[in-house]
């Protein structure tokens, strides 16, 4: 599930949920296939409207971003709240979509404020009121506290943010390591991180959840190849190469397995990513049924001349340069005729006899 409307959420449907569970929770749900090209285009239009108010924009995802409006009051003749209301109105009138806005004095509190009034809402959190406001809120309200951290805090008897506010920084660090610093600061509404306009991604990844658990190695490899092509396409579009590959698997009992390998040289070629991922997968396909598979290209960097320039090939040449030439040809065809104009056989499901 990419996202769920508010009515579906009342039935227990939520994002990142396996589809079979969503159907069980809400049998009458209307399932809409995603249109990422359309979403990306609209996201770009929203970004353009944001840029008319401030150049300091840090995207969090395709539909979420931080804006730093410091110093724009004199430029626009409006305070930050007025500017954001005008921006929300522009987005709704020009693009036909609604937004929810959180206004505060730092990123973590703005993120929290944005969750307080949805959909089509506006919430503001001030610095003077933040300590008492947070005190009776559950620890899950802290950005970054997921199920595992929440369970650990609950085990230690900490269920509300006010309990964290009563602990010293050294005590929290002693109990929770580096994350203790975040618990201490965020429980007090502190966050010194600036809005980063050119934040460098650390990895590019893709994953898919199966409608039914899969143990067949051939079927898993086919899905893995499709993901490798998707990751490769994104890396090439971003002008990035990776130095490592990470395979992610989720078993039918929801246990996560991750396996990693280093590439012999930085690459963004689907064939090379698949080659390493295939070896990692082979070590795990021992009859275990999986409900999710994912692949990530890690250690991103700009491609060097060796990755950018094709080389003369012979039948006895090293396969890596041949992969480069083949993928350049495939990319050229897809760029002209569409992403599915040409595909490799390993991406197709076998015909049923």
- Element spanning 122, H or E: strand 122-124
Cβ count near 85 (within 10 Å): 15
Between strands 122-124 and 203-214, the pairing is unpaired
Which residues carry out catalysis?
64
Cβ count near 352 (within 10 Å): 4
> Contact at 8 Å (CB) between 229 and 347?
yes
Q: What is the rounded CA–CA span in Å between residue 316 and residue 114?
A: 59
Q: Residue 316: which residues within 8 A CB-CB, separation 6 or more? A: none
- Element spanning 244, H or E: strand 242-251
First to last CA, the chain: 32
């Amino acid at each position: 599930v990419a996202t769920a409307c508010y009515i579906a959420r009342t039935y227990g449907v939520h994002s990142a949920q396996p589809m079979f569970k969503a159907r069980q929770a809400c049998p009458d749900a209307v399932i809409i296939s995603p249109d990422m090209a359309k979403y990306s285009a609209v996201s770009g239009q929203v970004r353009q409207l944001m840029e008319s108010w401030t150049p300091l924009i840090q995207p969090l995802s395709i539909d979420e971003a931080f804006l730093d409006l410091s110093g724009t009051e004199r430029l626009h003749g409006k305070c930050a709240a007025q500017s954001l209301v005008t921006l929300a109105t522009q987005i709704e009138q020009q693009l036909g979509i609604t937004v929810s806005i959180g206004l505060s004095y730092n990123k973590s509190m703005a993120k929290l404020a944005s969750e307080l009034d949805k959909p089509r809402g506006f919430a503001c959190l001030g610095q003077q009121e933040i300590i008492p406001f947070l005190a009776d809120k559950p620890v899950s309200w802290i950005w970054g506290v997921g199920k595992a951290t929440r369970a650990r805090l609950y085990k230690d008897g900490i269920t509300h943010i006010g309990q964290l506010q009563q602990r010293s920084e050294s005590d929290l660090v002693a109990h929770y390591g580096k994350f203790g610093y975040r618990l201490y600061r965020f429980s007090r509404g502190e966050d010194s991180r600036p809005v980063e306009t050119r934040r460098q991604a650390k990895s590019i990844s893709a994953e898919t959840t199966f409608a039914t658990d899969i143990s067949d190695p051939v079927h898993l490899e086919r899905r893995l190849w499709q993901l490798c092509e998707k990751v490769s396409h994104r890396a090439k579009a971003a002008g990035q190469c990776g130095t490592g590959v990470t395979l992610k698997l989720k078993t039918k009992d929801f246990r996560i397995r991750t396996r990693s390998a280093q590439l012999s040289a930085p690459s963004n070629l689907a064939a090379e990513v698949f080659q390493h991922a295939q070896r990692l997968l082979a070590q795990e396909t021992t009859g275990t049924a999986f409900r999710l598979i994912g692949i990530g290209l890690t250690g991103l960097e700009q491609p060097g001349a060796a990755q950018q320039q094709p080389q003369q090939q012979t039948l006895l040449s090293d396969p890596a340069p041949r992969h480069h030439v083949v993928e350049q040809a495939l990319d050229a065809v897809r760029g002209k005729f569409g992403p599915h104009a040409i595909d490799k056989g390993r991406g197709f499901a076998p015909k049923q006899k």
